[in-house]
Amino acid sequence: MRFYSKEQHKWQKKSRRLEAQATRLLANYKKGKKKNKKPRLIISKKTEFKRPNYHRYIKSKAWRSRRLAYYEKFGKQCVVCGDSDINLHHVTYERLGREHDGDLIALCVYHHDRFHKEIEIKGDMRIETYKFIIREQEDQELSDLIKKHM
């Protein structure tokens, strides 16, 4: 499944080269080879990576097929309450357009909306997502226990 262009491949290669260059500069700087100068890495505007537009991607065939593949592998039910009316939540947007299974998690509409009301959207929300799921599961178990004993 490909959702990125040849330009983005060029960017990925260039970013790897720049990372290697930065690593070498820092290593040399720490060793003391360039005592007077701090390492500088100049990045041109051409190296900027343009991720796919989120809303355009969510409406695309690529997302539809990615979502169906996830449902076939993990089922179509909320990890908190088991509801089947779900949204596929991005745990991280780092690989938008080329997500791994671990970048996605099934949440029902209620829990997905509740998550985003509580937590600000940012690139990597792994910790926040898992804390939210654990807290919601505990709340669900507690409310079930209370209903059972009433």
Span 44-91, pLDDT tens digits? 444 444 556 888 888 999 999 999 999 999 999 999 988 989 989 999
pLDDT at 110: 92
Is the predicted pLDDT of residue 101 greater than 70, yes or no?
yes
Tell me if 60 sits within 8 A of 68, measured CB to CB: no
Is the predicted pLDDT of residue 35 greater than 60, yes or no?
no
Length reported for the chain: 150
pTM here is 0.59
pLDDT at 78: 92
Q: Burial of 31 by CB count in 10 Å (0-12 exposed, 13-18 middle, 19+ buried)? A: exposed
Instruction: Indicate the average pLDDT of the chain.
Output: 78
Comparison of pLDDT for 23 and 89, the residue scoring more: 89
Residue 117's Cβ-side half-sphere holds a number of Cα atoms within 13 Å equal to 6
Is the predicted pLDDT of residue 34 greater than 70, yes or no?
no
Tell me if 110 sits within 8 A of 83, measured CB to CB: yes
The neighbour count for residue 77, using CB atoms within 10 Å, is: 16
pLDDT at 54: 82
pLDDT at 46: 47
